[in-house]
A = this chain, B = another copy of it.
């Protein structure tokens, strides 16, 4: 990297490095007649590109924003990433991305790297295990925050500054209410890993709402928080419930705690010759963009994913980001579609 340096630009323009710096970085100081033009011309002619590393070292901030997701190819995360990207742009920040493949070691490593790069803020998306398994991470965040770093988590039980909290519990409860109101009477649940709070909250919200109406899920199964997790859980559920086609009876309504799992479940049932919503009904959670063209259309709790990503950035960059936690709830809205339609 033997690039053109500010010094070269200054020399060609016949000014000091300090002046060149002031002209090019748009400092408040107004340079004398023609000076600015000369510097800018020199910069252009030489093809000067400021060294952001050097700037970062000399200034306080790097203009970098780190985003950690579980899987960038998952529509849930890529939608959030899109929102983060948009908000980062308007804040004139640039995005460091880590897709961890759901590996917590990789995640920790990614966070360390972001801190090493002195990212101005870090957004952690993707549900974390609840419990105190991540003391290392919390300690690292604490130091990072002491040094002026900002951390915002999306839907996680980590207390580390900021949090955007999708209303998982009440969203799932509202969904249950809506399904009961629509005439459903028999339910089952496809849950996620017990260690993931988002999964647990949604499951609990749903089951508790059912309980308030005197209902209990016939069966609960669970799987990974992925399409394949939903697929295999759904097969087990079909076995447990002895689901069959064309029974003519009111189908069981299954709540899958995330859309990708619901989609996997539908695929599994289809292979078993079961039709949705005729033989079994299903609702998900998130309203990922993929759903728009899915058949059957999927009932779900719609979360404004891009907005969530954008808000996380705004929270992180918020002026009054202090020692206290800044948290913001984001409600979801129930959307009933074909997949839970009763005859």
Closest to A83 in B: B73
Which of A314-337 touch B at CB < 8 Å?
A: none
Interface 0/1 of A41-71, CB less than 8 Å to B: 0000001011111101100111000000001
Chain B residue contacts of A293, Cβ below 8 A? 227, 263-264, 266-267, 294
Question: A292–B139 Cα gap in the complex (Å)?
Answer: 41
Q: Is A117 an interface residue (CB 8 A)?
A: yes
Question: A3–B96 Cα gap in the complex (Å)?
Answer: 20
Q: Is A38 an interface residue (CB 8 A)?
A: no
Count of residues in A whose CB is under 8 Å from the partner chain:
59
Interface 0/1 of A178-221, CB less than 8 Å to B: 00000000000000000000000000000000000000000000
Q: A113 and B52 in contact (CB under 8 A), knowing A149-B1, A293-B267, A294-B294? A: yes
Least CB distance from A264 to B in Å reads: 7
Which of A87-127 touch B at CB < 8 Å?
A: 89, 94-99, 101, 106, 110, 112-113, 115-118
Q: A1 and B147 in contact (CB under 8 A), knowing A94-B98, A98-B94, A112-B49? A: yes
